[in-house]
Structure 1
């Protein structure tokens, strides 16, 4: 456990006595972490954080890492109290924020912006699909129900003047989407995740693939006019095997969220360990390399949890 967390906990009256007996003040905390697909970055990073929080905060019970469909399910779990820490894309979190009242202890609050998702529109390398409008009539996985992918895919299609009804839309998770493309059962799939996403990297090793450039046809510009929470981004050449040229896409911030009612000291401890263990997290997933103290506070429109805010203020002096 970090020195600051220990000293803060020691000032908590009865909890200080627990520390004197070498017990962590957080020993009785049982955390449930809602992540995403087991082949995605959320699950990898959530699993690594679970181990770090267990060890550094002295949790008697290892945190439970829950595989989910993604952001939308995670936000449902947070609201229902069936998860304590969740990952979410900014677009889903922003929409859910409108459903809660001021002062609601179940309202989402941010611990940190952790990394940015990269939208992937994956097709076989020889596909005639070169722009989003080319998806009309095609067999396309638009994301699993309950995921953040299905939210952003619908918005991207809308920016191109399409709806799900204009496609042969299938609602598949990441693993099933990868297998469906590999077997020729679908023509394309949407995915929003860290770069590289292991399942997509694995597909690129199995067969030549290509990412569709979202700048084609003005789709990215139209999307950002409607939804300014997204930013333009680039997948670099060789970001995946077979990817010969950089591809323009969109980025969506990813947040680590908790309920507003989480005790401040626990929230501060979670954030402290996040930064203390960055190198170890990066050894598990390269997306953790972008965890940065200055960028972490960029969680608008979701407010930082007071415990997280206190940590950042202390770190910045």
Structure 2
């Protein structure tokens, strides 16, 4: 069994690691970070809530706004962030050194926290009803180094929409919301929990509709990718929409580096679960955290410190 370090000891360990760079967690002294995402997205809200709970427990840690999954994984892999949120498909690429990653990163999972919906947003009066209808339109595919861009490119390719056939824009969530509201784009992709705060706010002033992503497209995307994608329906009535909208889901992981000490990850995992009820008051997606499902992070391995927490929790129940 791992030694149960007190919060003060963990903070000391964190500071020593930061100064020496021995754990790969950081290269300079100062607060650690949780790599979130856009300030109007669920990643950042979740990161902020978790960081507050960790500070209350004695950690010197803050949430940081980032470009999304790819950016988060690179920060964790370089030791610039203690924890980060990432989509399962992008995390799998990081472990394998594929896609946006030139070489494998030392990424391990803390937990599968919730499943995210792929949201393809258009104005309610748009003539586009299928992914293939995006040809000739102005489409935001997410910002560089984001998991949104990874998925958007794969969806468009699987649906037969070539990059030359539409006007490509690369905005984050905030930029996409603003551009759609101002009529500067015709559609945008987002991947996140429902409701996503930025889109929910937009829906109150601009009637929206979601373009479905069918099972054929999802099956093409899943080929050779560890079956991380699956077909689902958006929650009924999301953003004021009517009727069922078929789309796809991808799991979302909280990750850390394999170089982070086991005791540190054990305590972070414990706090993740112990604080979930409190954080869910302001971030509803946190209520989806399930200890029984959290261990299923394949092909990303669980960190040994997280494994120890799950084993201990199972034995105590």
TM-score band by shorter chain is 0.7 to 0.9
- Relative distance call for 1:248 and 1:106 in structure 2 (3 A) is closer
290-299 vs 24-33, greater mean Cα deviation: 24-33
CA contact (8 A) 1:121 1:190 kept: yes
Q: In structure 2, the residue corresponding to 1:86 is in which secondary structure?
A: strand
* Separation (CA, whole Å) in 2 of partners of 1:226 and 1:25: 44
Please list, as runs of the form range in 1=range in 2, the aligned pairs for 1:302-313 lying within 5 A after superposition.
Answer: 302-313=300-311
Task: Show the counterpart of 1:15.
Answer: none
Give the match for residue 182 of structure 1.
181
Aligned to 1:55: 56
Counterpart of 2:10 in structure 1 is 26
Q: Which residue of 1 aligns with 2:21?
A: none
Q: How big is each residue's C-alpha offset from its partner over 1:214-246, in whole Å with a ceiling of 9 and x where there is no partner?
A: 128x323333345421111111221222x1112
Q: How much has 1:175 moved relative to structure 2?
A: 0.7
3-state DSSP class of the match of 1:144?
Answer: coil
- Equivalences for residues 209-220 of structure 1 within 5 A: 209-215=208-214, 218-220=216-218
Aligned-residue offset at 1:165: 2.0
Aligned: 1:264 with 2:265? no
SS in 2 for 1:8: coil
Contact 1:31-1:83 within 8 A present in 2 as well: yes
Residue in structure 2 matching 1:8, options 1, 4, 7: 4
- How far residue 106 of structure 1 moved from its aligned partner, in angstroms, is 5.9
Take 1:252 and 1:214, find their aligned partners in 2: how far apart are those partners? Answer: 13
Q: In 1, distance between residues paired with 2:4 and 2:75? A: 30
Kept after mapping to 1: 8 A contact 2:143/2:149: yes
Structure 2 equivalent of residue 289 of structure 1: 287
SS at match of 1:50: helix
Contact 1:236-1:245 within 8 A present in 2 as well: no
Aligned twin of 2:45: 44
Tell me by how many angstroms 1:24 deviates.
Answer: 1.9
Unaligned runs of 5+ in 2: 15-30
Distance 2:105 2:221 in 1: 31
CA contact 2:95–2:104 (8 Å) conserved in 1: no
Q: Which residue of 85, 89, 92 corresponds with 1:91? A: 89
Q: Following TM superposition, by how much is the alpha carbon of 1:77 offset from its aligned partner in structure 2, in angstroms?
A: 1.0
TM-score, structure 2 normalization:
0.88
Equivalent in the alignment of 2:204: 205
Gaps of 5+ in 1: 10-18
Distance in 2 of aligned mates of 1:110 and 1:220: 24
Deviation for aligned residue 1:81 = 1.5
Count how many residue pairs are aligned between Structure 1 and Structure 2: 293
> 1:153, CA displacement in angstroms?
0.3
Contact residue 97 and residue 104 of structure 2 kept, 8 A: no
| Matching residue of 2:235 | 236
What root-mean-square deviation, in Å, do the aligned CA atoms of Structure 1 and Structure 2 show? Answer: 2.0
**Is 1:137 the equivalent of 2:136?**
yes
State the alpha-carbon separation in 1 of the partners of residues 222 and 130 from structure 2: 17
Name the residue aligned to 1:13: none
**CA deviation vs aligned residue, 1:249-273 (integer Å, no higher than 9, x gap):** 1111111111101111110100111
- Contact (CA 8 Å) 1:215, 1:248: kept in 2 or not? yes
Residue of structure 2 equivalent to 1:12: none
Query: Equivalents in 2 of 1:99, 1:105: separation in Å?
Result: 4
Distance 1:31 1:248 in 2: 39
The structural deviation recorded for 1:314 is 0.8
Q: Say if 1:204 and 1:240, in contact at 8 Å, map to a contact too.
A: yes
On the 8 A contact 2:122/2:211 being kept in 1, the answer is yes
SS at match of 1:48: helix
Distance 1:176 1:211 in 2: 18
